[in-house]
Each structure stands twice: as C-alpha cells, then as structure tokens.
Amino acid sequence: MRQQERLRSLDSLRGIGALAVMIWHATWVAFGGANGPGILLIPRRGYLAVDLFFMLSGFVLAHVYSADFANRPSRRRYAAFIWARLARIYPLHLLSILLLLRLYGQTSLYSGHALALNLLLLQGPWLPQVTWNYPSWSISAEWHAYLLFPVFCAGLWRLPAKAAAAVAIACALALVLTCAESEWGLANVTNGPLSLARALPEFITGMLAYRAYRTGWCRALWQSDLFLASIAVAILALSCAWPTDLAIILLLPGVLLAAATNEGRAKSLLISRPLQFLGDISYSLYMIHYTCIIAIFDALFGVDSAGAPTAPRIMAFFAAIALSLGFATALSRGIEYPARSALRRLWAGEIGERSPAGR
C-alpha cells in the first residue's frame, strides 16, 4: 500500500502535464504563438510535457510489468500486455477520430491514407505531418514503445550498473541529435522517424529511472522537498530562455524520482484530491482538448482568430479551457474507464494493470 500511494503522485504529474499541453495549444490557437498576454502566465514550454509522458510511461510500465518480462517472458504475457495497452489508449483514440470525420477529404490532413494509418496507430513516425487529432501523434509513438517494451525490459534488467549508465548516456545523446536535426533546435518533433528518436529514448530513460527508484539509488536526495522544489524552479527558469529544451528534458527523470519517493509536503500536495482528479481525467483531457479548442475558436472567429480583438480571444481562451476540462471529465467517466474495463473483460486470463498509476 505504501508503494502504491507513492505512485499516486505520478498520476498528478500526468494531470499537470496534460494541463500544460492544453494551455500551450490554447495559447497557440488564441494568440498565434506561445507568448500570450502576460496576465495569462502561460508556460512557454508546454509541449515538453509530452516528453514527461514518455518517461512516465516507461517508469510506470516498468513498475507494473518488469517482473513479468524480466523473469518470466512468454508470448501469452506479451499478447495480454499489448491488449491491456490497447484497452488503455484505443477507445478514446477512436472516438477522437470519429469526432473529426466531418473533415474527411477536406485537406491532406484528413485524407483516407492518413485515416488508415491513424486507425493503425502508425501515423506519428510514418507520415510527414501531423494528421487528424493533433495530440494523437504521441499515442502512435508510445504504441511503438509498447511493442518493444518486453524487449527493453528483458535487456535493461539484466545489465550491470555501468552498462545501464551507458544506456542512459546513449539515450541523452539520441535526444541531443534529435534536437540538432529539428527546426530551431527544439525538441518538439511530432512526425516522421525523428518522433521515435524523441519518444523511444525517453521511454527507456523512464524505465532506467524506475530501476534507480527500485534499487534505492540516491533516495535520500530524491525524497526531499528541497530537491523537488529546486528542480521545478530550474525548469521554470529554463523555460524563459531559448534554446533550452534539451536541458529541461534532461531534468525530467529527476522530477519522476522526486515525485515517486518524496516524503514531505510535496507528497501531500501531489496526492491531494484536486491533483488526483486532474490525473484521473488526464488521458481524456489530452486526447480531446485540441478538438475542443478548435471548435470554440472556429465557432467564434472562423479560420482567423488572430484578427480578432485581444479581449474576445482571451475570453475564448478560457472558454476553450473550461470546455476541455468539462468534456474530459464526462469522457473519462462515461467512455474511457468503462470501455477499458469492458475490453479487459474480453481477454481471458489477462494480466491487467496492478497499479492505480498505470498508463
């Protein structure tokens, strides 16, 4: 129970990350960039919450499934794992596509070819642009990580400590190259093979962070309030400079370890009811917010919101946030969790998810 409670804090991290992505997208749509009016206090690096998601997935899946694949791998366990992941991500992914079918054929973003790849969860790495539901590119990238997870797990858990450290360095170098190859040196790579060069090293980094968590390495450092506060301040400070994406990403494993091990006031905050609620609806919020934002701004301003006065755009910004949160709450309760449970019941002998923080 003690370990489960600690992992509840990771739910809150996911909720905070989903909120950051939503605010960043809403700012971009409302004001044509990531720098809205100062009164909005918009973080300039909201898209980097997706990098936190990739690491969170690696961390949590290693917590839930490492014993299954490091010690007792089998084809049935692998099939059950993949089915559990599909039950987790696919119902809302499919719903988000259905909500956008009215746009079919209007542009290349909504072509039949793009639709087919989206339905197969292949759109992120294998299309030259983001199509259909914008945020789902990361779900596609994660799907590739899920397919490889048992291999990663079996390999990483058998490595000696020095070899594991070498893997961590290799992941960091892969991210350096990704930023170097991307436009303006940013990490916000959302399509093409480079999206896997972003997602897979971060997923592995999350798994390595869990390995450090499990062994208790430097636990006295991670569990202090001072460390978590310091790393949060560092990330916020780096967010005001450019280009700092890589530096921020390299701090994210510390955020995971601090949140998972903290024994002070930060833990009380992270497992508080509001943040836990945000974590509960985080996947629904992530998958539906862009559709809600576009719907609000298209209804109020048409295709060019940038020409509207600032005050109406600010009002539309907050309306889009409210709609996204409300719709996500309804979807999580009415579709996400019931559909996941129903799909799992279809799998006889499923291994399921044994953690409330399962992603």
Q: Which has more confidence, 164 or 40?
A: 164
- Give residue limits of the domains in the chain: 2-346
Would you state the torsion angle of the CA atoms of residues 272, 276, 278, 281, taken in this order, to the nearest 10 degrees? Answer: -160
pLDDT of residue 88: 94
Average pLDDT, the chain: 86
- Top-ranked range on mean pLDDT: pick from 6-10, 91-95, 261-265: 91-95
Mean pLDDT of 277-281: 94
| pLDDT tens per residue, range 127-149 | 888 889 999 999 999 999 999 99
- Distance (Å, whole) CA 69 – CA 151: 8
Contact 167, 208 (CB under 8 A): yes
Q: Report whether pLDDT(92) > 90.
A: yes
Mean pLDDT of 58-65: 92
The long-range contacts involving 222-225, CB below 8 angstroms and separated by at least 24 positions, are 222/254, 222/257, 222/258, 222/260, 222/261, 222/262, 223/258, 223/261, 223/262, 223/263, 223/264, 224/262, 224/264, 225/262, 225/264, 225/265, 225/266
| pLDDT tens per residue, range 190-231 | 888 888 989 999 999 999 999 999 888 888 888 888 999 999
pLDDT of residue 306: 62
Half-sphere exposure of 124 (CA within 13 A, CB side): 23
Number of helices followed by number of strands (H, E) in the chain: 16, 0
Residue corresponding to tokens 């291999």: 151
Q: Report whether pLDDT(289) > 70.
A: yes
Q: Report whether pLDDT(246) > 50.
A: yes
Mean pLDDT of 271-293: 93
pLDDT of residue 43: 55
Q: Report whether pLDDT(354) > 50.
A: no
pLDDT of residue 348: 55
Assign 359 a pLDDT band (cuts: 50, 70, 90). very low
Would you state the torsion angle of the CA atoms of residues 170, 176, 177, 180, taken in this order, to the nearest 10 degrees? Answer: 180
Q: Report whether pLDDT(41) > 90.
A: no
Phi, psi angle pair for 31, to nearest 5°? -125, 5
- Distance (Å, whole) CA 28 – CA 51: 19
Would you state the torsion angle of the CA atoms of residues 339, 72, 79, 204, taken in this order, to the nearest 10 degrees? Answer: 80
Q: Which has more confidence, 347 or 176?
A: 176
pLDDT of residue 304: 63
Residue corresponding to tokens 């940013």: 186
| pLDDT tens per residue, range 15-40 | 999 999 999 898 888 887 544 443 34
pLDDT of residue 4: 45
pLDDT of residue 353: 45
Residue corresponding to tokens 């070498």: 166
- Of the listed ranges 7-11, 194-198, 248-252, the least confidently predicted one is 7-11
